Amino acid sequence: MRVAITGATGVIGAVLSRALRDRGDQVVALTRDRDQAASKLAADVEIHEWTDPKGSSPPPAALSGADAVIHLLGEPVAQRWTGRAKCEIRDSRVLSTRRLVAGLSELPQERRPSSLVSQSATGYYGARGDESVDEREAAGDGFLAEVTRAWEHEALAAAELAGVRVAVTRTGVVLSPRGGALAKMLPPFRAGLGGSVAGGRQYVPWIHVLDVARALLRCVDDARISGPVNVTAPNPVPNAELSRTLGRVLGRPAVMPVPAAAPRLLYGEMASIVITGQRVVPARLLQLGHEFTFPMLEPALRDVLRR
């Protein structure tokens, strides 16, 4: 298969690119910086510059003849949400997806990819306490829920505008040492200063980065999959259990509770990500018999951290 990827040099994109190449697929990377992408990606990855994802469609040569497109582009959410940052978080997702779909619809029918897998996030559901949440649930409230609703709306439009099958992957907290929430947690935990946040009862919809890549590949390969797909491990855990398990894997105490005021002071509105949570389950993938390499938290952390 020929698969075009936006965000190919990111935490998920790099692992996904490797997985595609390992199974013999041709990877086409769309990037804003050709030189940077060339330094990070394998020599046999075909690279096309897409310098203005918010303002222009991708180069037709990158999409034409591809079997599938996987769209991972988006400004990092884990930062203080200033007005400018919130605008970039939203526009980098919503506008780039709109431009991508426009580019797909402009291709001749016989040269269009048959499927689009577009990243989304469990933030779609908002704060849900300890109720089990699957793909049938409605969108929640808050900034991330609003962003993901708009983001998914643009992606799903490709079904009508370009005639392609669309899956939107609501991905949870990705476990990877290269970035994301785990990378931010490691310094205090390694120093023995880790602990549960805001009481620790909020659920964390975690998933190993390798299982993210495998779920994305399943969405590409399985023509039965369309619409929303939760990309989370089948066993979400409360923040307190995540903290205890991470401490055990690192061989460090994890008994320093962090009051809700601390992340609010450090991150402002963005702290809502760690103070609240969702008990999200991958119902659609499980229904299809999808198997997770790391369904349980401790083996996942030990693999990621090579412990």
pLDDT at 31: 95
pLDDT at 266: 78
Model pTM score: 0.96
What mean pLDDT comes out for the span 86-101?
98
Burial class (CB in 10 A: 0-12, 13-18, 19+), 25: middle
- Rounded-to-integer distance, Cα 12 and Cα 171, Å: 11
pLDDT at 78: 87
Q: Domain map of the chain by residue range?
A: 2-173+208-232+281-292
Q: How far is CA 21 from CA 1, 68, 81, 198, in A?
A: 10, 14, 36, 42
pLDDT at 274: 86
Q: Which of 138, 122, 137, 144 is CA-nearest to residue 278?
A: 122
Asked if 113 and 66 count as a contact pair (C-beta separation under 8 A), the reply is yes
Measured from the Cβ of residue 251, the count of other Cβ atoms closer than 10 Å reads: 9
Q: Which long-range contacts (CB under 8 A, 24 or more apart) does 139-146 make?
A: 142/272, 143/81, 143/86, 143/269, 143/272, 144/77, 144/272, 144/273, 146/90
Under DSSP, the state recorded for 66 is: -
User: Domain 2-173+208-232+281-292 carries which CATH code?
Assistant: 3.40.50.720
Average pLDDT, the chain: 95
pLDDT at 6: 98
pLDDT at 138: 95
pLDDT digits (tens, 9 = 90+) for 245-291: 999 999 999 988 888 888 888 788 888 888 999 999 999 999 999 99
